Structure 1
Amino acid sequence: MCIQVITIIMACFSGFRSWWMGDLIKYYTLYTNCNGIDWRKHVFSDYTNMGIRILFRGVGFLGLPYEVCVFVIAAFIAMTLGLLIYRYSPSPYWSYLMFIAMGFYVFTFSGLKQTCAMGFVMLAMMGILDNKPRRFFIWTIIAGVFHAPAFIFLFAYPIAKKKIDIGYIAITIAVIGAVYLFRGQIVELLAEAYYEGEKFYTADGTIGGRALMMIFIMAFGLFMRPLRRDDVMYRQVFNLMVVAVIIQYFSMYDNVFSRLADYYYQFIVLFMPLIMEEGEHQALVQPERKYTIRYFAHNNYVLIGLMITLFALWYYNSYVGSSQTILQDFKFFWQIDPYSLYGQ
């Protein structure tokens, strides 16, 4: 019931927003082009990110306004998130706190293509957790049709399934070393593959604050819930967090790599609830693991949870403070008539 209520609130709050804000104005131009006389030229101009154009054309063909597209996308991401949390998260509180505090929800207000793609990636993640590789592959391909960088999630299935052993540690160290030594060449490759050959530069080559925070959270997770071979879902999510940190490292070149890392890092909505799951509850759900679980007193979880909540609120406030360009124009559709402003 809690998840259903939050899903409705998130869908309505985001879905009833006016499109007179941020990139939504540019998307409206695309929407009108996809439903004009020369719609075929715009919808099928190229195959990159064609999914959003097909969606726009489909909604326009039904005679529905652009606002319907905005609402459908908002409802889609809210429902896929709710389904993911309902099926796999031991704590909706931590899941929704992370989704909001880490800035994912604010981002959905403006980035329609990636919002659609991230929703489909959530469905692909369910394929990983349910051991359904075909389902994983289909949903990831659909995500890439909406936003080409989402194809990077195609590596997620074998990475998530990799068992934690000496080989895993050796491979991880080797990858980190290769990333550090060949970061320039890797950036050029990623730019060519995902960002149409755009050039990225770095001033000092230092690791960004977000990457350091991600590393700290992973270290905290290992302390609270050490990796065990039989702790399958936690191990799989942890593996994806490692990939997120590696991709985030490249944000020293440009912030677009933070958006690329988000295809993996959005699953902090599962990682945080898993590391904050009390030992007694883990043992109740998985009794075969009761002798390998690290236990803490309930009061310790309460204190740690309070500290994490305060940190999340601080981080969210910092993120929102840097997102004023997105939020300063936020209005509900009944508060403004964007059609009277468009083109002026």
Structure 2
Amino acid sequence: MILLYTFLAALAGYYICSVQAESRGRGRDFVEDSAYQKRVLLGPYVVLCIWLVLLVGLRSDSTGIDTWNYVNNYNQCVAYPNWDAFRSFLESQNYRECLYWMSLYGMAKLGVPAWGTRFVYGAIAVVPVLVFIYRRSESLLLSIFFYLSLSYYAFAFTGIRQSVAIGLIVLAYLQYEKRRWDLYLLFSVAAIFFHITAAIFLPVILLRWVRMNEITASACVLGGGALYLFRGPIVDWLERIVEKDYSADIGGGNLYVLFLIGTAVLLWIFQWRWIKSEEDQLLFWLACMAAVSYAVVKVSPVYMRATYYYQIFLLASLPNMLNSIPDGLTRRFGKLCYVAAGIYFFFSMVAFSYRITPYEWVLW
């Protein structure tokens, strides 16, 4: 239940800090004042970041749905006697996701234990997301709340390769904001060599020149409809790429689809208030892409997992949009609704679905 306790502690922290800020007579809800929030909460935020990295990095082999598979990968790398034998293995895999295998092989040969590799990968998966939240979110507490409740953090317990790829994609986005196109491509390509689904993020660079108008809004609607109508062939193509059969219905079902679509609509309604830069505009388009592409989830979870490369950026755009609502009562009601939705999705998608409960430390 340790993840549940962490989740509840985040809720308690949200409430206590809000009450403390209001008691000091600042006249504004604590979560609306990002400058004050980041000054006061930097220390606790760093402590929380360290805790989240330790939690995902020091778990036992039995914690997490697919952790055992990565332990087998580690043992497989240890068993290769030399580089030539390992290179033959990479060739047999057509060098698919070779950066994952090469990094795992390198750490294994350096004597890093299996749990140590999970710690390294956990840090790469979690730290970039937390840095992104600190830089771009106007409400650290709301962002952390959504990070824990919407399964993005819990996914690092089971989808190690893809969670690392998501972390690298977030690093690529941070370079995108600074117009460092070489580093953007470097991190994007590195993500693809960890998990091939990261290739879905490469075209995002083209969104820099897209602006919201009647044409682009219509394109979003038509694109979402086309994805739904042709979801079968799309999934067949994706399954040929990953060479696996995904057919289970997971990922939150219709309610989560409505959650993403409703969020994209609200982001559009309040765009004139919260979109203040090209970076905000890109965050909006990423939310739209996450919403329209999620229609395929009813057919295949492989595409649901691929949309995480888009959904992860909701951790900034969603709190920023909520903070921009002009009417105080409507703003608080909107936040209350999203907190309620987060609690629901946590217990329906996270708390008992990723084999994190009971949690076991690797050292005990």
TM over 0.5: yes
Q: Does 1:49 align with 2:79?
A: no
Question: Matches of residues 53-132 of structure 1 in structure 2 within 5 Å?
Answer: 53-132=101-180
Q: Partner amino acid for 1:94?
A: L
* Separation in structure 1 between the aligned mates of residue 205 and residue 142 of structure 2, nearest angstrom: 24
The answer as to whether partners of 2:121 and 2:164 remain within 8 angstroms in 1 is yes
2-side partners of 1:52 and 1:96: how far apart?
28
Partner of 2:361: 332
Q: Secondary structure at the match of 1:333?
A: coil
Please give the TM-score of this superposition, normalised by the length of structure 2: 0.78
Alpha-carbon offset, residue 210 of structure 1: 1.8
Identity %: 21
Give the structure 1 partner of residue 313 of structure 2: 267
Q: Is structure 2 residue 284 aligned with structure 1 residue 238? A: yes
Q: Say yes or no: does 1:24 pair with 2:45.
A: no
- Higher mean displacement: 125-134 or 63-72: 125-134
* CA shift in 2, pair 1:230/1:133, >3 Å: same
Residues in 2 aligned to 1:41 and 1:329: alpha-carbon distance in whole angstroms: 39
Indicate yes or no: 2:180 matched with 1:136.
Answer: no
Corresponding residue pairs, total: 313
Distance 2:182 2:337 in 1: 40
Give the 5 Å matches for 1:196-211: 196=243, 198=245, 208-211=254-257
Q: CA deviation at 1:43?
A: 4.5
Once residues 223 and 71 of structure 1 are traced to their aligned partners in structure 2, the CA distance between those partners, rounded to angstroms, is 41
| Alpha-carbon shift at residue 132 of structure 1 (Å) | 3.0
In 1, distance between residues paired with 2:338 and 2:248?
Answer: 34
Kindly provide the CA deviation profile for residues 159-202 of structure 1, in whole angstroms up to 9, marking residues without a partner as x: 3541112331243233234324433333333333x322747599
Q: Choose from 20, 36, 40 the match for 2:87.
A: 40
* Alignment pair present for 1:151 and 2:199: yes
Among 336, 341, 347, the residue aligned to 1:306: 336
Shift of 1:118: 0.6
Q: Which runs of 5+ in 1 are unaligned?
A: 279-293, 336-344
Q: Counterpart amino acid of 1:257?
A: Y
**For the structure 1 residues 156 and 330, does the alpha-carbon distance in structure 2 shift closer, same or farther, using more than 3 Å as the test?**
same
Q: Which residue of 2 aligns with 1:9?
A: 51
Matches within 5 A, 1:218-229: 218-226=264-272
User: CA contact under 8 A between 2:192 and 2:199: conserved in structure 1?
Assistant: yes
Q: Give the aligned CA root-mean-square deviation in angstroms.
A: 2.4
Query: Which stretch of the first structure deviates more once superposed, 165-174 or 57-66?
Result: 165-174
SS of alignment partner, residue 90 of structure 1:
coil
Amino acid at match of 1:333: V
Is contact 2:149-2:350 (8 Å) kept?
no
The Cα of 1:57 is off from its aligned counterpart by 1.0
Report the Cα offset of residue 226 of structure 1: 4.1
Kindly state the Cα deviation for residue 150 of structure 1 after the two structures are TM-superposed: 0.7
